[in-house]
Structure 1
Amino acid sequence: MDKIQIIGGNPLIGEVKISGAKNSALPIMAASLLTDEVISISNIPYLSDINSMIKLLESLNVTVTKKKKNINFKSKKPSSFSASYELVRRMRASFLILGPLLARYGNASVSLPGGCAIGTRPVDLHLDGFEKMGVQFKINSGYISGNCKGGLKGSVIKLKRISVGATENLMMAATLAEGNTVIKNSAREPEIVDLAELLIKMGANIEGHGSEVIKITGRKKLNGCNFRIMPDRIESGTFVLCVFGCSGKIKLLNLNKSICKHLQDIFKPLKSLSLIPQDGGKSLLVEKKKETEVMLKVKTREYPGFPTDLQAQLTSSLLKTRGKSEIQENIFENRFMHVSELIRMGANLKQNGSTVIVSKTDNLKGAEVMATDLRASSSLVIAGLMADGQTIINRVYHLDRGYEEIEKKLERCGAKIKRIKK
């Protein structure tokens, strides 16, 4: 397996082109199952999770072709409506094919999903919603099989908890359901808005996306379209925190006004960090100013709150700041697996249940560490960039699931970082 080698201690100066959002691309790719016409998508990042989704769709008789900077998807009726464990185990987003298959064919069988090992991510919210739309489920040998004779029926669905995946799955299914569907307590993430905008371009009737109540009127058929994936706000935030931890000045390219504002909002407490939108909001100038004492109390929240997907990176970036900060994880349990690896590097961290306390680390040293999940892996990259000496990160396949050539982007900004291929 590949490793990442980092020699820390260099400020970051340069430009970084932000990739398309993985968390938008995956559900949008799954949405290609809703039509027999071509869906042409641009700005898709080249990631292992994207390749896994392509293989999954191809197993369901979707023809996937790359044309210049676009990837085209054309779905035909599959010979089997079953998604195997071998394909689904690689990522939890594979469960998003359930809604489109049920909506278009009334039948689907999907293995329980895999992905990052950061606690339980129950699919009960998905199943409860589909059952209200008339689906009957059986669970056998790790597979969930659903059937809805006569097609999906519109319904009022109130999610017990806010869930991005359940909102996406139910919204896709509702576009081809008979009648009206209302999803209450829905997630509001920009990636959900991006998916809704794609579905609308396909002919779907959707209102309220980006709010707590989404209304969908089902159609008999959806058409193909061209669509560009939104920029990745989590990758953007990761690079902002790289600058905060390492000092320097970088310009993030390929953004939009909404993401620039979101980054300004969530990082406002970091007083030594300057975030200035440029080029009409298409880029963001990120600069670390004079060091100040930091005393944060951060709680991860659903959008527009502080993202759980940036919690680990924030922890690393605070290691050398004066003061004591508390970071509380409210979305997923067991999302502090990076803490023990950071402590191996000398990090002054204490975990108390769902909270980690970050105190100034005077002697952060490079070490050999192991990535345990996607965002933990990027937190180790940040720590390695900040540390004295050499850091070796093992199991970087986690990193490749969500970051497109992060080592090359950082190297172009002056970081001493390289991939060691095995």
Structure 2
Amino acid sequence: MEKLVIHGGRPLHGHVRVSSAKNAVLPIIVATLLPSTPASIIDAPNLDDVSTICSVLESLGVKVTKEDNVLTFDASMLDKTEASYELMSKMRASFLIMGPLLAKMGHAKIALPGGCMIGSRPIDLHLKAFEAMGAEINVGNGFVEGYAPHGLKGTTIYLDFPSVGATENILMAAATAEGRTIIENAAEEPEIVDLVTFLNSMGANIKGAGTNIIRVEGVKELQGISHTVIPDRIEAGTFMIGAAMVGGDVVIDNVLTEHLKPLLAKLNEAGVKVIKDIDSVRVISDGHIRSTDIKTLPYPGFPTDLQAQFMALMTIGNGISKITETVFENRFMHVGELQRMGASIQVEGRCAIVQGVPFLNGAFVRATDLRAGAALTIAGLAAHGETEVGELHHIDRGYDHLVEKLQGLGADIVRVDRD
């Protein structure tokens, strides 16, 4: 077991480059199950979640190769429709293989998914959609099994909630289904748009990505292509919040600022100077923060994946802020850890009231989930004294070379073995 050891109080300066988006690359990797010829992803991020989803595909018979910075997937020898429980239980995104397997093989047996324990995140939206497309679904003994021996049929599907995962799973199932599929109340995230760009480049016929109604005309076959994934807006946002909290002058490269409008607005409210460029953003801060309220919402609202990091920022605000979480019901597990560092936070249901304090103090804390780990790391960078962050496997799931990138900005942070 490893931990981060951070000596806080050092402003950040310099340039940092954002990696490809975790939340985009995972469904795109899964979509490589569909084409009849190999597909490649350029500059895939070095993440535990990427390794896990590659192992899932390999367990199904997909040939996965890595050369330099290119991952290639050849699904021409796909011969299995059941993934191992051990692999599937590691992360939630693995459930996305169900749509492509039903579409291509007519069968899928999948262990109920794992991942960060930040809420129930039920899969019933996925299953209702597959049933509407003609699949027979059975749930029991920790598995979901689907049958579509005669193929999937296009239909109109209304999502009760604009679920990103359900939208992605349906898109992959519908790409080669017979007829037209219409997804109403679809998720609008940039990661959805990137998946559709990938599918359409392979020959799919999908319109409306980025809106709440997506139309899919099923095609007979897809052909593999090479694709470069969009930048990770959550990683970019984490560095922006970190620079604001610690103070300094940081340029974050490989950023699409149009994907981060709510964060930019809130940082401006908090008194942080943010300068946008074509594919970068510069954050200048003296570490003096105005308390600011946020409310998480599906895209294009404030992202739930930046809530923990923004709460860390608000712990040193000069007033009272209100953080409202509407997406996941159990996404305040980082509160107790921030309190160990001297933060004044009171949770009332889905709201957290944060009374800013002059400074945080270093402490031993543990990452309770992926984004909580990032929040505690940037809190440690701003705190007085030494902070140790444990449970790093959460951070490794979603941040590519985080320590090295922060060191490049002048942070005093190292990764060491636990005592």
Name the TM-score, length of structure 1 as normaliser: 0.97
Q: 1:361 aligned to 2:361?
A: no
Q: CA deviation at 1:2?
A: 1.0
User: In structure 1, what is the equivalent of residue 149 of structure 2?
Assistant: 149
User: In structure 1, what is the equivalent of residue 119 of structure 2?
Assistant: 119
Q: 1:274 aligned to 2:256?
A: no
Flag the 1:292–1:385 CA change in 2: closer, same or farther, 3 A.
Answer: closer
Q: CA deviation at 1:321?
A: 1.7
For the residues of structure 1 that align with 2:176 and 2:35, how far apart are their CA atoms? 10
RMSD between aligned residues: 1.3
Amino acid at match of 1:276: I
Amino acid at match of 2:243: V
Q: Residue deviations 1:283-326, cap 9 Å, x none?
A: 111111583532x2211000010000000000101111201100
Q: Is the 8 A contact 2:257 2:281 kept in 1?
A: no
Amino acid at match of 1:69: N
* Percent of residue pairs bearing the same amino acid type: 46
Flag the 1:257–1:300 CA change in 2: closer, same or farther, 3 A.
Answer: closer
Flag the 1:62–1:265 CA change in 2: closer, same or farther, 3 A.
Answer: farther
Q: CA deviation at 1:363?
A: 4.6
For the residues of structure 2 that align with 1:418 and 1:139, how far apart are their CA atoms? 45
Unaligned stretches of 5+ residues in structure 2 = none
User: In structure 2, what is the equivalent of residue 403 of structure 1?
Assistant: 399
Of 270, 286, 306, the match for 1:310: 306
Flag the 1:292–1:419 CA change in 2: closer, same or farther, 3 A.
Answer: closer
Q: Is the 8 A contact 1:274 1:289 kept in 2?
A: no
Q: CA deviation at 1:276?
A: 1.4
For the residues of structure 2 that align with 1:417 and 1:244, how far apart are their CA atoms? 18
Q: What are the within-5 Å matches in structure 2 for residues 21-420 of structure 1?
A: 21-256=21-256, 258-259=258-259, 261=261, 263-265=263-265, 267-270=267-270, 272-278=271-277, 281-288=278-285, 291=288, 293-294=290-291, 296-420=292-416
Amino acid at match of 2:383: A
For the residues of structure 1 that align with 2:126 and 2:324, how far apart are their CA atoms? 27
For the residues of structure 1 that align with 2:335 and 2:137, how far apart are their CA atoms? 39
For the residues of structure 2 that align with 1:189 and 1:259, how far apart are their CA atoms? 9
For the residues of structure 2 that align with 1:260 and 1:339, how far apart are their CA atoms? 24
Flag the 1:23–1:397 CA change in 2: closer, same or farther, 3 A.
Answer: same
The DSSP-based 3-state class of the residue aligned with 1:366 is: coil
For the residues of structure 1 that align with 2:157 and 2:266, how far apart are their CA atoms? 30
Q: Is the 8 A contact 2:247 2:287 kept in 1?
A: no
Matched residue count: 418
The DSSP-based 3-state class of the residue aligned with 1:327 is: strand
For the residues of structure 2 that align with 1:221 and 1:420, how far apart are their CA atoms? 49
Amino acid at match of 2:404: K
Name which of structure 1's ranges 61-70 and 156-165 shifts more when overlaid on structure 2: 61-70
Q: CA deviation at 1:358?
A: 1.0
The DSSP-based 3-state class of the residue aligned with 1:83 is: coil
For the residues of structure 2 that align with 1:267 and 1:290, how far apart are their CA atoms? 12
Q: Is the 8 A contact 2:202 2:223 kept in 1?
A: yes
Amino acid at match of 2:44: I
Amino acid at match of 2:11: P
Name the TM-score, length of structure 2 as normaliser: 0.97
Name which of structure 1's ranges 180-189 and 412-421 shifts more when overlaid on structure 2: 412-421
For the residues of structure 1 that align with 2:169 and 2:266, how far apart are their CA atoms? 27
Flag the 1:404–1:35 CA change in 2: closer, same or farther, 3 A.
Answer: same
For the residues of structure 1 that align with 2:287 and 2:368, how far apart are their CA atoms? 33
Q: Is the 8 A contact 2:245 2:287 kept in 1?
A: no
For the residues of structure 1 that align with 2:267 and 2:182, how far apart are their CA atoms? 34
Name which of structure 1's ranges 231-240 and 38-47 shifts more when overlaid on structure 2: 38-47
Unaligned stretches of 5+ residues in structure 1 = none
Q: Is the 8 A contact 1:88 1:111 kept in 2?
A: yes
For the residues of structure 2 that align with 1:374 and 1:383, how far apart are their CA atoms? 15
Q: CA deviation at 1:242?
A: 0.2
* Structure 1 residue ranges (4+ consecutive) displaced by more than 6 angstroms after TM superposition: none
The DSSP-based 3-state class of the residue aligned with 2:127 is: helix
Name which of structure 1's ranges 161-170 and 312-321 shifts more when overlaid on structure 2: 312-321
Amino acid at match of 1:159: L
The DSSP-based 3-state class of the residue aligned with 1:333 is: coil
Q: CA deviation at 1:78?
A: 3.3
For the residues of structure 2 that align with 1:80 and 1:390, how far apart are their CA atoms? 50
Amino acid at match of 1:187: A
Q: CA deviation at 1:254?
A: 1.6
Amino acid at match of 2:267: F
Q: CA deviation at 1:383?
A: 1.1
Q: Is the 8 A contact 2:262 2:301 kept in 1?
A: no
For the residues of structure 1 that align with 2:307 and 2:94, how far apart are their CA atoms? 24
Flag the 1:38–1:78 CA change in 2: closer, same or farther, 3 A.
Answer: closer
For the residues of structure 1 that align with 2:216 and 2:265, how far apart are their CA atoms? 31
The DSSP-based 3-state class of the residue aligned with 2:219 is: coil
Q: CA deviation at 1:76?
A: 2.7
